Amino acid sequence: MILPCLFLAPTPEMGRGVYTNEPLETGTLIEIAPVIVMSAEDRIHLDQTLLHDYIFEWGINRKECCMALGYISIYNHSYHANCEYEMDYSQALIAVKTVKPVQAGEELFINYNGTAEDESPVWFDAL
């Protein structure tokens, strides 16, 4: 499920991103996407490829990884995100919802740390 108001568009600094053409209220469920779960061994191999930047850690112990379908892997990172994602390990799904009001034309961001305001450096800022 992807809300029909979402679309992909170029971003000035990050290649492309997910945007909305309608205003969204806080708490709006905007996407539910299935994931392809891969083993810890697969993750070692994927970490050596460009896909490293698009996969998510998966599982309670976070040793597995997954490739999310839909728009999930296109959301850009912000330490002050307007959306957050939730993983459903039993159903192999990731859901995205807004945590702040979003205006029409605005880019939707998630915090790659998992919660909207976690300012722990992510891998590309820790280098």
Domain range enclosing 104 = 6-110
- For the entire predicted model, the pTM comes to 0.89
Q: Please tell me the total count of domains within the chain.
A: 1
Tell me whether residue 125 is in a domain: no
Choose among 96, 123, 80: nearest CA to 35: 96
Q: Are 99 and 84 in contact (CB under 8 A)?
A: yes
Q: Per residue in 48-84, pLDDT tens?
A: 998 988 999 999 999 999 999 999 999 999 989 999 9
Tell me whether residue 119 is in a domain: no
Q: Per residue in 13-54, pLDDT tens?
A: 889 999 999 999 999 999 999 999 999 999 999 989 989 889
Higher confidence at residue 71 or residue 123? 71
Q: How far apart are CA 107 and CA 75, in angstroms?
A: 9
DSSP per-residue string spanning 15-75: EEEEEESS-B-TT-EEEEEEEEEE-HHHHHHHTTSGGGGT-EEESTTS-EEEEE-TTGGGP
**CATH number, domain containing residue 13:** 2.170.270.10
Tell me whether residue 13 is in a domain: yes
Tell me whether residue 124 is in a domain: no
Tell me whether residue 121 is in a domain: no
